[in-house]
Amino acid sequence: MNAIDTMLQHRSIREFADQPVAKETLDQILAAACNGSTMGGMQLFSIIVTQDKEMMRKMAPAHFNQPIATNAPLILTFCADFHRFDRYCECRNTPTDAYHNLQAYQWAVTDALIAAQNACVAAESLGLGICWLGTITYNTPQFIDILQLPKHVIPVACIPMGYPAHPDTPLTPKISNSTLIHHETYREYSEEEINTAYATMEQAPNNVNMVKENHFHNLAEDWVLRRYKKEDNEYFSDLLQKTITEQGF
């Protein structure tokens, strides 16, 4: 499918048809993933392909047992990876201590996410559905253990994919593009613009129901007090910081 049409028709798919992903389809997705931009040509990422249901079941608890973590035929986990580059340097008797820092992490995260988004666009252009699992950066120690990631490798994106069970899944309501875009410099948002920008999302039936069920006043409370709570975020931030340090960045 045409690239722009593919991206404009993106929606998250969390249920998949009982249809495997053919090897040649997977190969096309991976080829697109591997051909994105990369910091200085260093290609600081790796992709772990999960197709074994037993491996999915092992990872599921770290994904908080979301059904999508086991019901997809295929999961791609994208890792920020300086380990392979370290191995290259070792083989050329070159020191590798220049990359034990935040810039190295930022570059490798960027390379991994470029690859991940290419994979998503490729998959969607071939008729597959995808959904990012934010849990991958929460429970990094468990994923590192299960996927046997060496030092200097951290998982940063996890994308189950497969043919949609419901191909007519509607688009997700979003903030209007003009609100996300600034020309030349950042302009401050007036209360009026904020109200207009979030109205579509506040009025979406799913969100209206969620706010009602949880006895909140508005969508902001549902996000802040239930979905992405301070204590959880702080707990998982400490864990991620510990992983970044322990993995040698």
Quote the Cα angle for 178-132-70, to 5°: 155
Residue 245 interacting with a copy of itself (CB under 8 A): no
Residue 60 interacting with a copy of itself (CB under 8 A): no
Q: Which residues pair with 45 in a beta bridge?
A: 80
Residue 209 interacting with a copy of itself (CB under 8 A): no
Residue 151 interacting with a copy of itself (CB under 8 A): no
User: Which has the closest alpha carbon to 25: 118, 130, 127?
Assistant: 127
Residue 229 interacting with a copy of itself (CB under 8 A): yes
Among 24, 168, 188, 213, binds a copy of itself (CB under 8 A): 188
CA distance 162 to 190: 41
Q: Are 47 and 115 in contact (CB under 8 A)?
A: yes
Residue 21 interacting with a copy of itself (CB under 8 A): no
Q: Which is nearer to a copy of itself, 17 or 55 (CB)?
A: 55
Q: Which is nearer to a copy of itself, 71 or 96 (CB)?
A: 96
Altogether, the residues listed in the chain come to a count of 249
Residue type, 15: E
3-class secondary structure, 248: coil
Among 14, 16, 21, 45, binds a copy of itself (CB under 8 A): 45
Residue 47 interacting with a copy of itself (CB under 8 A): yes
For the chain, state the CA radius of gyration: 20
Residue 213 interacting with a copy of itself (CB under 8 A): no
Give the x/- contact pattern for a copy of itself in 81-120, rule: CB under 8 A.
---x--xxx-xx-xxxxxx-xxxx-xx-xx--xxxxxx-x
# residues near a copy of itself by CB under 8 A: 118
